[in-house]
Amino acid sequence: MKTVETIAGYREIRSQLYEPIGFVPTMGYLHEGHLSLVKRAREENRTVVVSIFVNPTQFGPDEDLKNYPRDKQRDLYMLESYTDIVFLPSAEEFYTSGYNSWVDIEGITDVLEGARRPGHFRGVATVCTKLFNIVQPTRAYFAQKDAQQLLVIKKMVRELNMPLEIVACPTIREQDGLAMSSRNTYLNQEQRQAAKVLYKALKLSEELYSDGERDANTIRRRMTELIEAEPLAEIDYVSVANAESLQELDKISDKALVSLAVNIGRTRLIDNVVLG
Ligand code: PAF
């Protein structure tokens, strides 16, 4: 495994890499969820490239960029067995002084995470464009856990004719159902127990749906009641939306994305399932 810290350094070795190239963009502090993407990339490609970059432009002014968890040595150790190249660019090189070029994907970024975190998806789309331009992968791997991010990236690649395939990978969960996330490390023991309520609410939506419920308002209401019964949980949103357009539904007739954002203490957790 080789580490590369500059764009020029990566460009120097790019022509020597065997194709197809599988790419996993990350912000580090890796967990089993990231590793599942890296392992899938390993199975499907001759070269695996992973980037670790805590992208400042996707954090809002009130979001804690400085305290985002980081552990480079541990990340490199975890990647060692599956990865050929780890790309670790610097913010200074990615966003030079006077930087002014942005990628804005409209429509599906106005709702859910995009509505609560203005500028977030502009930062994500911009950094992914830069990473795709530099790494030049055959395929890039993204988790269903960040469902809206996945849709934004797919739309961007399709509409801007980027020459790569986006591979969606299932959410990896702890034994009790909590979706793996670097943010879980912020939870104390009591909050960690309370965080189980996210998956319980999503399971409830699946049960209601398989019992024949198609009224989206009923599903939202039942999920909301369940979460409100957990004293440490504070709902940001509970959504039942069309899985492509992300518009809220009254009736479920096609695929629906059930997603939620819940604050447990000061930690904001998101999760989702797809119905139908
Ligand atoms: O999902 C993430 O970790 C980030 O949003 C990504 C895709 C690496 C871009 O910074």
Nearest residue (CA) to ligand 1, atom 2: 26
The total of structural domains in the chain comes to 2
Find the mean pLDDT for residues 124-128: 99
Find the mean pLDDT for residues 32-41: 98
Whether 151 and 240 share a structural domain: no
Tens digit of pLDDT for each residue in 230-243?
Answer: 999 999 999 999 99
Considering the chain, what is the average pLDDT of its residues?
98
Nearest residue (CA) to ligand 1, atom 6: 26
Query: Which residues carry out catalysis?
Result: 34
Find the mean pLDDT for residues 130-159: 98
Interval between CA 218 and ligand 1 midpoint (Å) = 33
Determine the Cα–Cα distance for residues 248 and 238; give it in Å rounded to an integer.
Answer: 10
Residue 177 lies in a domain: no
Tens digit of pLDDT for each residue in 161-192?
Answer: 999 999 999 999 999 999 999 999 999 999 99
Domain boundary among 141, 169, 197: 169
Burial of 202 (0-12, 13-18, 19+ CB in 10 A): buried
Tens digit of pLDDT for each residue in 246-266?
Answer: 999 999 999 999 999 999 999
Task: Report cis status (omega within 30 of 0) of the bond before 118.
Answer: no
pLDDT greater than 90 at residue 6: yes
Find the mean pLDDT for residues 17-37: 98
Neighbours of 85 (CB within 10 A): 22
Find the mean pLDDT for residues 21-44: 98
Whether 27 is in the pocket of ligand 1, judged by its Cβ within 6 Å, is yes
Distance of CA 26 to the CA centre of its chain: 9
Whether 151 and 248 share a structural domain: no
DSSP secondary structure letter of residue 45: -
Interval between CA 146 and ligand 1 midpoint (Å) = 9
- Which residue range is the domain that position 200 belongs to? 182-275
Whether 55 is in the pocket of ligand 1, judged by its Cβ within 6 Å, is yes
pLDDT greater than 90 at residue 64: no
What pLDDT score was predicted for residue 62?
A: 87
Strands (DSSP E) found in the chain: 2-4, 21-26, 47-52, 85-87, 139-143, 165-169, 233-242, 256-264, 267-275
What pLDDT score was predicted for residue 76?
A: 98
Whether 47 and 115 share a structural domain: yes
Instruction: Dig out the tokens for 273 from the structure.
Output: 């399932």
